[in-house]
Amino acid sequence: MHAAHGASARRELGALAKLQVWLTLGIGAVGLGGLFSVYTYLAPTLLAVTGVAASTVPLMLIVIGLGMVCGNFLGGWLADRGVMRAIGLLLLLNVATYAAFDVSFHSLPAVTVNVFFAGLAGIALVPPCRRD
């Protein structure tokens, strides 16, 4: 493809002067940063704090993956009904989910539910932020 008339690096970087771009980047950093913090430390925390067998860790990775799949659908569905409302609700769900980890890691059933919702809440933010 040929470059659009007037296209330049300076013009592309001009988007960084818009508050909406920075808000979208911030929401993505907070939401996905929390998700990947949970994902990164899931195995060691399950083994050390929850006290599960190592064979349970792959099952929990499946649970967080299923949450991510469901979150992608939920985020799109909510975005279709109102982008700003969806982002607000999903940020609150992220905060509640990550705050609940402090108490849920001591129980396998509780942490399983929380891991599912961590995947769901983190990825559900993506469709509303990508809404055109």
pLDDT tens, position by position, 57-74: 999 999 999 999 999 999
CA–CA distance, 21 with 29 (Å, rounded to integer): 12
Q: Say whether pLDDT at 131 is over 70.
A: no
Task: Quote the number of domains for the chain.
Answer: 1
Q: What is the arithmetic mean of pLDDT over 63-90?
A: 94
DSSP secondary structure code for residue 109 in this structure:
H
- Whether 19 maps to a domain, the answer reads no
- Whether 3 maps to a domain, the answer reads no
Helix (H, G, I), strand (E, B) or coil at 10: helix
Beta-carbon contacts of 19 under 8 Å, excluding residues fewer than 6 positions away, are none
pLDDT tens, position by position, 2-31: 777 777 888 888 888 888 888 878 877 877
Range of the domain at 96: 27-130
- 114 burial (CB, 10 Å; 0-12 / 13-18 / 19+) is buried
> For the whole model, what pTM was predicted?
0.81
Q: What is the arithmetic mean of pLDDT over 39-62?
A: 95
How much of the chain exceeds pLDDT 70, in percent?
98
- Whether 10 maps to a domain, the answer reads no
- Whether 37 maps to a domain, the answer reads yes
